Amino acid sequence: MVGYVNPGVKVITVTAEDEVVRLCQELIRIDTSNPGDHSGPGERVAAEYVAEQLAEVGVESQIFESHPKRASLVARIEGEDRSRDALLLHGHLDVVPARAEDWTRDPFGGEIADGCVWGRGAVDMKNMDAMILAVVRKRLREGRKPPRDVVLAFLADEEAGGKWGARWLVDEKPELFEGCTEAVGEVGGFSLTVPGDRRMYLIETAEKGIAWMNLTARGTAGHGSMVHPDNAVTALAAAVGRLGSHEFPVQLTKTVRSFLERACLAYGVEFDPDDPEKCLDEIGPLARMIGATLRHTLNPSVLEAGYKANVIPQTATAQVDGRFLPGYEDDFFATVDGLLGPDVERGFVHHDQALEADYEGALVEAMEAALLSEDAGALPVPYCLSGGTDGKSFARLGMRCYGFAPLRLPPELDFSGMFHGVDERVPVDGLHFGVRVLDQFLDRS
């Protein structure tokens, strides 16, 4: 868009839609792979890039390095009414690793092809980082304050549980979030096409809890040719087998029931509360993710024992990925401990709470109105995330946490399947849609 300030002086006005694609590309090109052991490049370069983009429009930010190269950035934008509670917008800068040979395009190239920006983080979650930056830059260039204070947080280490990012900030620098009662982050607001040329937009209001567990069995070391009634490998393998084959019963939480009721209505199928799994086949690629929110899950992922075929080891260890429903943590661990039995010890690699916020109030109304203003066929619905986000850390400060990174997606794109997958990409049109919705959301928030 071209505007004129004085006769004969041409000024180029850059829109948020122009900028968001560039910002997304440039963030993707900064490798922030997080293997979980501090061997990656860290987020420092990306945090400095964000600081530069904010400084260009007059926003001062602070970078906190909680561990070498593990850097997060926080900034506060003053609102029109500073007596109101503040809103937190947060995104993480790290990404899971990617092997270039598995991808169609360079995972850190930020290329545009087939109408999409390609690369690691295009979905999880440099798309949202770019949208936040583009909207903030647009608003401040135009002199438009948000209705209330907005705190921005671009975070380290989310892909390894947030210990050196959101959790570190909450524990060490809670004053940065003073006044924040609500938080908006990732894995929500994206569309799923339903019959009648309409789109459900999934707003995340709940998350399952995380229990990445270390299991240890102990026995007597000895020669492989002898009888060993207390074989650590045998005890551990039996326990892991029990965990991996156990199917928890369906337990409908408030959020999941609300999602299924609305989804069934949109698809024109019956919702049967006595058999809620029956309708999953109707909702396409999301069925696997939504199905995981109907019950607790346990998935063994690592087994380690021994060093030679004829030597019985003294210990055997395993790791299991457990996820529990909001409100049912005690029930989950009681079942786990019963399945493990007395011969296996349980510890944690990572343990974090489940979340559930009400789908009501002014913030939810602002999300719905912003979506409907850009898509008359929008059907906003609450849903529960089977994974976890940095919202778990911010909830410790009493914030109500939601996932709202709005994207209107083509019906053929398996968006949820690209989280941590290969050939991650986000439609350019989706990014344009997202900045328009986020801008209107801030006006209404």
For residue 4, name the pLDDT band (cuts at 50, 70, 90).
Answer: very low
Pairing state of beta strands 180-185 and 400-403? parallel
291 and 388 share one domain = no
| pLDDT for 9 beyond 60 | no
Distance CA 88, CA 75 (A): 10
- pLDDT value of residue 283: 76
344 and 381 share one domain = no
Size (the chain), residues: 445
Q: Which helix (H) or strand (E) holds 412?
A: none
Domain count, the chain: 2
Query: Before 125, cis peptide (omega within 30)?
Result: yes
For residue 414, name the pLDDT band (cuts at 50, 70, 90).
Answer: confident
Give tens-digit pLDDT for 310-358: 999 999 999 999 999 999 999 999 999 999 999 999 999 999 999 999 9
330 and 242 share one domain = yes
Distance CA 105, CA 29 (A): 13
| pLDDT for 5 beyond 60 | no
Give tens-digit pLDDT for 120-173: 999 999 999 999 999 999 999 999 999 999 999 999 999 999 999 999 999 999
Cβ-count burial 241-251 (b if 16+ within 10 Å, e if not): ebbeeeebeeb
For residue 6, name the pLDDT band (cuts at 50, 70, 90).
Answer: very low
Where in the sequence is the domain holding 311, given as residue range(s)?
A: 209-352
How would DSSP label each residue in 107-151? Answer: TTS--EETTEEESTTTTTTHHHHHHHHHHHHHHHHTT---SS-EE
Residue for token pair 């789908």: 359
Q: How far is CA 432 from CA 35, 199, 422, 436, in A?
A: 31, 17, 23, 7
Give tens-digit pLDDT for 398-411: 999 999 999 999 99
131 and 70 share one domain = yes
- pLDDT value of residue 2: 32
76 and 159 share one domain = yes
| pLDDT for 182 beyond 90 | yes
- Position 408: which residue type? R
85 and 218 share one domain = no
Query: Nearest Cα to 323, choosing from 276, 369, 284, 289?
Result: 289
137 and 268 share one domain = no
| pLDDT for 15 beyond 90 | no
CB 166 within 8 A of CB 90: yes
CB 386 within 8 A of CB 294: no
Secondary structure class of 443 (helix, strand, coil):
helix
Residue after which a domain boundary falls, among 310, 326, 352: 352
Give tens-digit pLDDT for 110-122: 999 999 999 999 9
Give the whole-number percent of the chain exceeding pLDDT 70. 97
| pLDDT for 289 beyond 90 | no
Distance CA 380, CA 228 (A): 59
- pLDDT value of residue 227: 87
CB 244 within 8 A of CB 322: no
Distance CA 210, CA 308 (A): 34
Distance CA 245, CA 251 (A): 18
Domain containing 129 — which CATH number? 3.40.630.10
Over residues 15-22, mean pLDDT? 92
Q: CB-side exposure of 361: number of CA atoms within 13 Å?
A: 12
195 and 76 share one domain = yes
201 and 213 share one domain = no
- Average pLDDT of the chain is 94
Give tens-digit pLDDT for 56-101: 999 999 999 999 999 999 999 999 999 999 999 999 999 999 999 9
- pLDDT value of residue 86: 98
Residue after which a domain boundary falls, among 352, 370, 386: 352
Q: When comparing pLDDT for 383 and 2, which is higher?
A: 383
129 and 146 share one domain = yes
For residue 13, name the pLDDT band (cuts at 50, 70, 90).
Answer: low
Dihedral sign for Cα 16, 18, 21, 26, please: negative
Q: Report the DSSP beta bridge partners of residue 351.
A: 211
Q: What share of the chain is helix, strand, coil (3-state, %, to 5)?
A: 35, 30, 35
Burial class, 357, CB count within 10 angstroms (exposed 0-12 / middle 13-18 / buried 19+): buried
Over residues 167-195, mean pLDDT? 97
- pLDDT value of residue 79: 97
Domain containing 235 — which CATH number? 3.30.70.360
Residue after which a domain boundary falls, among 352, 385, 413: 352
384 and 369 share one domain = yes
331 and 286 share one domain = yes
